[in-house]
Chains A and B, each alone.
Chain A
Amino acid sequence: EDQVTQSPEALRLQEGESSSLNCSYTVSGLRGLFWYRQDPGKGPEFLFTLYSAGEEKEKERLKATLTKKESFLHITAPKPEDSATYLCAVPNSGGYQKVTFGIGTKLQVIP
């Protein structure tokens, strides 16, 4: 069974303090890995898709990387508006839209 584990569960950073979130996965044949951001009371917002080990994608202060067993979401010089829960997910063997999500990392950036 596909599994996604995210760590830490919660992270508190000072504004400008860079850090990384981890997502480790166990799947039978990786078809991609998704990163989403979710604000309280809202649906997840798509950030990145990574397809193969070594791939990297960037968006503003965020950079996602992928290895054969895990993915990292690096946050450089975060701002308070980066506070959110970050979710990692992998598509299951049934097809891209059957997706297993991690429990998420709740990030709080303090001014």
Chain B
Amino acid sequence: KAGVTQTPRYLIKTRGQQVTLSCSPISGHRSVSWYQQTPGQGLQFLFEYFSETQRNKGNFPGRFSGRQFSNSRSEMNVSTLELGDSALYLCASSSTQNTEAFFGQGTRLTVV
């Protein structure tokens, strides 16, 4: 079956702009999590959505937000971009029964 799909794969934005990233989970998976990956900090949890509700949230500023639609697709938004937001943003999905998470290829965001 199809894996987790993230779009776009690459983005270049200017400081102060906002950006929206998209994630389509594996069919049947209702939980979608987002992570930020940087060389210095590794993978850091942003938030998790389940059935359109945010269940968990990491320690990121309010500029980072997300939502989930009724078809389980999810979007992540970052407003007022800063240079430090440059990172690989990863989305992962899991079913309601399993603990393992399946990751997408990620969106590489560069803020200039």
Identify the A interface with B (CB < 8 A): 32, 34, 36, 41-46, 49, 87, 89, 91-92, 94-104
The answer, yes or no, to whether B99 is at the interface (CB within 8 Å) is yes
Nearest A-chain residue to B42, judged by Cβ: A103
Q: Which residues of A contact B92 (CB under 8 A)?
A: 43, 97
A95 touches B104 (CB 8 A): no
- How many chain B residues touch A (CB < 8 A): the figure is 24
Residues of B within 8 A of A95 (CB): 48, 55-56
Q: From known contacts A49-B99, A96-B99, infer whether A101 and B104 are also in contact, taking CB-CB under 8 Å.
A: no
Query: Which 4 pairs from chain A and chain B are nearest by CB?
Result: A43-B103, A98-B56, A101-B43, A103-B42
**Do A102 and B105 touch across chains, with their CB atoms under 8 A apart?**
no
A97 near B103 with CB under 8 A, answer: no
B87 within 8 A of A: no
A43 to B35, CA, bound (A): 10
How many Å lie between the Cα of A41 and that of B50 in the bound state?
27
Among candidates B33, B102, B105, residue contacting A46 with C-beta atoms closer than 8 Å? B102
B94 CB-CB contact with A under 8 Å: yes
Report how far A44 CA is from B92 CA in the complex, Å. 9
Partner of B90, one of A44, A94, A102, A104: A44
Q: Which residue of A lies closest to B90 (CB)?
A: A43
Contacts of B100 in A (CB 8 A): 34, 46, 49
Additional pairs, 17, CB under 8 Å, beyond known A97-B55, A97-B94: A34-B99, A43-B90, A43-B92, A43-B103, A43-B104, A44-B90, A46-B100, A46-B101, A46-B102, A96-B99, A97-B33, A98-B48, A98-B58, A99-B33, A99-B101, A101-B43, A102-B42
